[in-house]
Amino acid sequence: MNQPLRRPIRLREATNSLVYSSLVERVADEGSRAWDVHLRGRELEAEGQDVIFLGVGDPDFDTPAEITQAAIDALHAGRTHYPGSAGIPELRAAIARYRIERTGQPVEAEQVIVCPGAQNGLYVTLACLVEAGDEVIVLNPAYATYQATVRSSGAEPVGVPLRAENGFHLDPADLAAAATPRTRAILINFPHNPTGAMVEAKELAALAEICQANDLWLISDEVYAEVTYDSRTQRSPALLPGLADRTVVVDSLSKSHAMTGWRIGWIIAPGGMADHLNNVMQCMLYGCAMFIQDAAVTAVSQQFQEASAMRAEFGIRRNAISARINAIPRLACVPPEGGMFLMIDIRETGIDSLAFANRLVEEEKVVLLAGSSFGASAEGFLRLSLTSPRAKLEEACERLARFTARLSDLPR
């Protein structure tokens, strides 16, 4: 496809004498167009085409029934009124207990701010920590909205590469080199989206040293912390000496409990930051729906067999699809250490990732996301989401192999 999938925003486009704010420019970056190929897939599906969607990280599992029933019961009980902007006390306390049980980090209920998903949590956190003229270090590749979320605060994102030859692991030397007097915070997420890499103990120790030496905030997006493979566990940086008072943790139930559409997450704030977060939340929305918060209390207060089965299935898919991709000539992948995505190395095909993704959806009706949508370090890769049944994933691999075979005229 040579034409853009949607008309790009013309910055400060005027209607008569009216213009938009500079915010529309700051958030209209390459990441905002990451899902254009997904939208094209929906168009083809509406035309009756058999499209396989492997672009979005939305688990193909139902929310555990007991959680759903808790929301239904709360609705019948009339839990539909203003909840307060910081979250209902029962949920804040339950999240604090959940955090202690999962990680050992001591957390008080007063440190917890409930928000409609981790994305909102990142937005509110940055609004409290940075402003125009500041810099925020962001790992590259990065989740597609990170750059725009940083820019919406007025700050400027500064990319630190996660290199393919290093398994997309963090190189502390690159991180240290990126820090300047203008740097205010570092934004990380591990297990990493899109690459599935995790952060090792020595990398965490170096991260702590850099934050302390430069007096930086650390924002840790931990939404994939429950989805790890090969008996790995991801330690939160908030547990390291010297980081507890400067680390803001953002988390949600979206991935761990298959609750993406519920829009329920939280921020764990150090010191007195929770009061500032609450003030910002009051300006945005007056709290998450009370019946959803009641369901979240159920979610974080017990173990669910359905959630454990979902994570086990992701592990099976990860192993099977990694092996299948590695059997396709000129394609390769390294099984992710965590998360629900798999990075396909297409560099031997000689096609850039965006052209590959666009041609793949048109010719074989498979939606994968271009690595370039996540940053320069992911060029030459495609992101495949493991959030479809195995039969669909296997069929997608067959179509991918068929498409790649037609590229025989390109250099190997």
Residue range 364-368: average pLDDT?
Answer: 98
Percent of the chain with pLDDT over 90: 87
pLDDT tens-digit series, residues 163-206: 999 999 999 999 999 999 999 999 999 999 999 999 999 999 99
What residue ranges in 27-85 does DSSP mark as E strands?
Answer: 52-53
The CATH architecture assigned to 23-62+306-405 reads Alpha-Beta Complex (3.90)
Mean local confidence (pLDDT), 369-395:
96
C-alpha to C-alpha distance for 172 and 186, rounded to whole angstroms: 12
Beta bridge partner(s), residue 367: 53
Tell me the mean pLDDT in the region 252-281. 96
Residue 8 has pLDDT above 50, yes or no: no
Locate the domains of the chain by residue range: 23-62+306-405, 66-301
CATH topology of domain 66-301: Aspartate Aminotransferase; domain 2 (3.40.640)
Question: How far is CA 35 from each of CA 258, 320, 396, rounded to the nearest angstrom?
Answer: 21, 26, 18
Which pLDDT does position 32 carry in this prediction? 59
User: Which residues of 321-396 form beta strands (DSSP E)?
Assistant: 332-333, 341-345, 366-367, 369-370, 381-385
Q: Which residue has the higher pLDDT, 14 or 51?
A: 51
Backbone angles phi, psi at 14, to 5 degrees: -90, 145
